[in-house]
Amino acid sequence: MNLEQIMDMLKTQERLAKNITHWAVIPEKPGEYEAFPEYLSPKLISALKKKGIHRLYSHQRRALDEVMANNDITVVTPTASGKSLCYNLPVLNAILADKNARAIYLFPTKALSQDQVSELMDIVDEMEEDIKTFTYDGDTPVNARVAIRKDGHIVVTNPDMLHTGILPHHTKWMKLFTNLKYIVIDEIHIYRGIFGSHTANLLRRLHRICKFYGSNPIFICCSATIANPRELSEKITQKPMVLIDQNGAPAGEKNIIFYNPPVVNRQLGIRRSSLLEAKTIALGFLKNRVQTITFARSRLAVEVMLTYLQEEMKNLHGGRNSIRGYRGGYLPKERRAIEKGLREGKILGVVSTNALELGIDIGNLDVSIITGYPGSVASTWQQAGRAGRRSSVSASILVASSSPLDQFIINHPEYFFEASPEHGLINPDNLYILVSHIKCAAFELPFSDGEIFGGENIDEILAFLEGERILRHVGGRWHWMAESFPAEEISLRSASMENFVITDITEGAKVIGEVDRSSAPMLIHEEAIYIHAGQQYQVEKLDYEEKKAYVRKVDVDYYTDANFAVEIKVLDVFRQKADNNQQNYMGEVMVTSLATMFKKIKFFTHENLGFGPIHLPPEEMHTTAYWLSIPENTGDLSRDEIESGLLGLCNVMVNIAPLYLMCDPRDVRGVVQIKSPFTQKPTIYIYDNFPGGVGFSEKLYDMEDQLLKAARQVIMECDCEDGCPSCVGPYEEVGHGSKTFALKIIKGVLSD
Amino acid sequence: MNLSEKLRTFISGKHTGNINTDGHAEDKDHYPVMEKILEATMVNTPLGEHFVVEKTYKSCYMHGEIKLDSVFNISPEILKLIAKNSVFESLDFSRAVFIDTETTGLAGGTGTLAFLIGVGFFEGNDFKITQYFISDYDEEAAALYSLSGLLKNFDSMVSFNGKSFDIPLLSTRYMLNRIENPLEKTFHLDLLACARRLYRERLESVSLSSLETNLLSLEREGDIPGYEIPSVYFKFLRDKNPYPIKPIFYHNRMDILSMVTLTVNMAKSFKAPFDSRNCANQDYYCLGRVFEDMRMFEQSIKCYQKALNVSGVRKRSYTQLSLLYKRLDHWQEAESLWIDMAKSNINTIFALVELAKYYEHKLKDYDKAAQITQKALETVYKKRTLVGYSLKDEIAELKKRLERIKRKREKHQSQSIIEEAY
């Protein structure tokens, strides 16, 4: 069977067809073209023609024109719309005109940058010009580095390398910084939350260094479709942006299918597992040798899905190894081999986290299956874009889980297909992040009295750092006064640098991966089942002080899931307002969380096999929160009823908030207090799950009633009788009647 | 919470209420004490003030049993060998500075400061050390300015690990202070590379302190360990108490003096390698390499010969010497060495293969060549049984060789028969 036949089968086979909630056929779209502009170097034009490019897409031409006019631009582009020319053309054109001109390309991951270099090199080779493009990252050999610093016209790197390898050694890069004309930031929508807040500060440091060398580069940013691409790039780069969002590229026919697994327990509103449904659908394609990528939301889900698919495929042509896993935590060599196998068609199926949603070249796949809504519309489009990047027919199937957000999206396709509700949010002034980068910036160049950083006077922070004996204030300047190298202590990817190293001690000792500190209590507590590359390991010992976990290979039929107890305390109120019957607040809180126990959950049936305690110290976190308090007599509910309603409402709000915040569902957390020590009233808190906060709470505060209204919609539309995981949560957790009470609470506080 | 309180909880996770009691940075009250204790002088420059400490060592001054001015006795030929580079024959010690810095860390990058820059040079036969000291960050530009001024009088530099540490660091400091860098154009002899070339086989470490103890019979008194220097300096910045930093000045001067002594010592090693006071054991292998690279084959051969019986470098000396003989067309010497090696089981397979090549290509004695190759093959098989891992490539190569030799032998034999027939 070929792809069309399988799709027909999906449409006609009763068992599957009845679960399809939406089938959108995005028709083939013709391209909109423009001629090459006159100012474009003839050399460049002839190289493009040799590559079969005889005209530009309209958005590529506009990008060129705007950059030519010295404007900073943000180009919004879907997958396969020729976005790399939007930056390669202006950059190459400038270097052809002035061989001293330099550019930095920033890609969020190493893998992406290697891909882009080869594309760029193709054009350069075609022109037979001496334009040197180099990747500068952790893998660059030391002996190649000197040449790159001196002669590289285009330095392709990632924020982490800019942070530890380039900026702290800027004197060695004098030629680059003195002649820096362009900075390209691809996939800028990835720079949100913690990573984005760090990157914005990294660019504040870059601006200082450019100023020292007298350059003022133009920024060319590319973003996936989000609600606020311009605002996000402006916040990250601190430059006003011209937005280019009219895509002129043609596209092949695309089928986007929304699939909602059947309800298996109507009373509890429990649906068949999205993982198992996605597995069935994926096997339909794989067994017919249709190259398929299956995305899963977590590392754990990837490993579970991989185990299932490999098991089913083991007796077919290609065997287990025709299906591979791909996710962060695999070693680079392993990843490169998988990418190559996919391109060459030697690997039939891959199961991946969002690690493969970005432009890493794995060739054209026919089908992408998305197990559970990836958490953002932008990611969903990118994962869908993995199928049929060129102009052939392709299919993408989104298989919803029972989570409220999935259910909301699967039942409201308009959120997906119309204007994106998603905001890329960052908080460059997160104190924790800001201070980290002020340290790095002081190491790079001493601060002068009154110097501003990110538009703010930072004298108070500098004075604080002097008090901590990290800086020294003398002669009107603030000098770095420590032996350490601050950039090395700061990771851009997480709130803390502290990763736990996982060592397999089955035979000898072999490091197999890393887990960041915040995930450690969840994934690698003692007795946890940690899954890596489809292999189960049991955590034998967790050395919390030394940040090491020792695991041993096991073969069991369950996985583990940890429970947490969370407390919250208000430290400071930044904003507050009263609306109708509710009080809204935004401010700083202290969250204390304690992993209490873990559950053993059986594969396939997902039944609970038992419990175990977790003995780890509580984790304290300062962060920002949004909270909402209601009158005690709301809806004439009893205290218990209010508590149950609040718990349910909080669950729904936290679960659908990512639709607006463009964050991972785990990035915001909710806590309920029936009588808050701060407000003295029943209160729902929703906090940023990062030290210092990254802007989610503020956005939630600004959303007014939007979130409550969306929550109401979710609860009212849910088919379950008395609460289920898709709305307020199962009644075992939130109590009987939570659905009704939550609706009464909403009615009591909303005036409409 | 106000910002500072927040900062404290965010950053340190503690409410220490740490009030900064450090002396005010701009105070200059400590200057007289510093001048006295450190025997320092305040110098004025167009870019501000800084301290300088100057010490002169008379021509008779001995450091590590060596008179400093004996560097002038080092001939151009020896200088070439020390540097393993013939451009250095023109190095003139009366126009050279010995340079060493003390820094706020080893991490490198733009945030590391060289707070003490020591420069040693000859004035006539006296050796003088000038130390530029930055008693606070704002004096850096002034000190760099003075250093530039001094360096104008010299055209060469001698350092210990300066190529990868001190000089790039100083270059960065010049750039950050926007002062023209005087270090780039200068001729630079890095003694670490030289010492490593010469002593790496004998000594476990070729750090300056290891060289002092093991080579230069030097012992320091009242020195400060290098790793303590940054924190002692940071403390000084805060309290401006000059006593604890005094040993840093001593440490810096000792480093510079030892560079002079080390240079002389290396010169002796090259000049009279067979004088047991200058060289020992594994050094001969290293000397052999340098002499060979500098095309002084006679000396090289002598050194390798002496190293043949030194454990640790034995195999490499045999191998290297045999290859040198081969390179020089000293085939008989090479052959007897290879035979020795095969007999004594020193790099046996290499020796057998070299012998086979010699018999095959040079002597065209295919019987012998085949016989030796066969022996090599057997040795590899034996080795495989012993070590248990596969030596596929080696075996394949030897088999190929053996077949080629056999082919040649047949061709040769048939040719001889034809010739005889005539």
CATH number at B267 reads 3.30.420.10
When divided into structural domains, chain A yields a total of 5
Segment holding A637, helix H or strand E: none
Note whether B180 contacts A: Cβ–Cβ < 8 A.
no
Bridge partners (DSSP) of residue A627 are A585, A685
Whether A183 is in a domain gets the answer: yes
Instruction: Answer yes or no: are the C-beta atoms of B371 and B391 closer than 8 Å.
Output: no
Closest CA to A551 of A616, A502, A500: A502
Mean pLDDT computed over B162-177: 95
B420 class by beta-carbon count within 10 Å (0-12 exposed, 13-18 middle, 19+ buried): exposed
Note whether B3 contacts A: Cβ–Cβ < 8 A.
yes
| Same domain, residue pair A223 and A263 | no
Whether B338 is in a domain gets the answer: no
Whether residue A482 and residue B10 make contact (CB cut-off 8 A), yes or no, is no
Helix count and strand count (H, E) for chain B = 16, 7
Question: Which residue type does A201 have?
Answer: N
| Same domain, residue pair B289 and B214 | no
**Token representation of residue A366:** 């026919």
Residue at a domain's end among A244, A276, A303: A244
Q: Which chain A residue shows the shortest CA-CA distance from B139? A: A475
Whether A49 is in a domain gets the answer: yes
Question: How many residues in chain B?
Answer: 422
Mean pLDDT computed over B193-212: 93
| Same domain, residue pair B49 and B130 | yes
Question: Which residue type does A288 have?
Answer: N
| Same domain, residue pair B66 and B92 | yes
Q: Tell me how many residue pairs between chain A and chain B have CB atoms under 8 A apart.
A: 105
| Same domain, residue pair B187 and B46 | yes
Whether B1 is in a domain gets the answer: no
Whether B11 is in a domain gets the answer: no
Segment holding A227, helix H or strand E: none
> Do strands A102-106 and A323-326 pair parallel, antiparallel, or not at all (unpaired)?
unpaired
Query: Within A69-192, where are the H helices?
Result: 83-97, 110-127, 142-151, 159-161, 174-178
Q: Output the pTM of the full model.
A: 0.83
Residue at a domain's end among A244, A278, A296: A244
CA A284 to chain B, closest CA, distance in angstroms equals 45
For an interface test with A, the pick among B10, B22, B106 (most A C-beta atoms closer than 10 Å) comes out as B10
Give backbone dihedrals phi and psi of A254, rounded to 5 degrees, phi first: -130, 130
Q: What is the pLDDT of residues A57-107, one digit of tens each?
A: 999 999 999 999 999 999 998 776 788 899 999 999 999 999 999 999 999
Give backbone dihedrals phi and psi of A387, rounded to 5 degrees, phi first: -95, 130
| Same domain, residue pair B182 and B283 | no
Which residue in this structure is represented by tokens 């250095």?
B88
How far, CA to CA in Å, does A410 sit from each of A351, A661, A714?
Answer: 22, 18, 11
| Same domain, residue pair B353 and B306 | no
Q: In sequence order, which residues have a C-beta less than 8 Å from that of residue A313 and are 6 or more positions away?
A: A283, A286, A287, A319, A320, A322, A323, A348, A349
Low-confidence residues of chain A: pLDDT under 70: 1, 80, 111-112, 114-115, 267-269, 332, 359-361, 389-391, 494-498, 533-534, 604-606
Instruction: Answer yes or no: are the C-beta atoms of B287 and B269 closer than 8 Å.
Output: yes
Q: Which domain holds residue A353?
A: 259-417
A455 class by beta-carbon count within 10 Å (0-12 exposed, 13-18 middle, 19+ buried): exposed
Whether residue B110 and residue A472 make contact (CB cut-off 8 A), yes or no, is no
CATH number at residue A66: 3.40.50.300
Please state, in angstroms and rounded to a whole number, the distance separating the CA atoms of residues B407 and B402.
9
Whether B39 is in a domain gets the answer: yes
**Token representation of residue A28:** 């083939």
Whether B15 is in a domain gets the answer: no
| Long-range interactions of A491-498: CB distance < 8 A, separation 24+ | A491/A160, A492/A159, A492/A160, A492/A163, A492/A194, A492/A195, A492/A198, A492/A199, A492/A202, A493/A160, A493/A194, A493/A195, A493/A198, A494/A194, A494/A518, A495/A194, A495/A432, A495/A690, A495/A691, A495/A692, A496/A691, A498/A547
A374 class by beta-carbon count within 10 Å (0-12 exposed, 13-18 middle, 19+ buried): buried
Mean pLDDT computed over B150-177: 95
Rg of chain B taking only CA atoms, in angstroms: 30
| Same domain, residue pair A277 and A292 | yes
Whether B8 is in a domain gets the answer: no
| Same domain, residue pair A222 and A137 | yes
Note whether A214 contacts B: Cβ–Cβ < 8 A.
no
Note whether B394 contacts A: Cβ–Cβ < 8 A.
no
| Same domain, residue pair B263 and B370 | no
Closest CA to A610 of A599, A622, A621: A599
> Do strands B96-103 and A529-532 pair parallel, antiparallel, or not at all (unpaired)?
unpaired
Whether residue B138 and residue A477 make contact (CB cut-off 8 A), yes or no, is yes
Q: What is the pLDDT of residues B11-70, one digit of tens each?
A: 554 444 444 445 455 567 778 888 899 999 999 999 999 999 999 999 889 998 899 999
ipTM: 0.85
| Same domain, residue pair B100 and B238 | yes
| Contacting A residues, span 154-213, partner chain B, CB-CB under 8 Å | 168-172, 174
Note whether A466 contacts B: Cβ–Cβ < 8 A.
yes
Q: Which domain holds residue B364?
A: 344-422
Name the 3-class secondary structure at B266.
helix
For an interface test with A, the pick among B110, B165, B179 (most A C-beta atoms closer than 10 Å) comes out as B110
Q: Which of A435, A445, A472 lies at the smallest CB-CB distance from B237? A: A472
| Same domain, residue pair B120 and B239 | yes
For residue A642, the tally of other CB atoms under 10 A from its CB is: 25
Q: Which chain A residue shows the shortest CA-CA distance from B115? A: A481
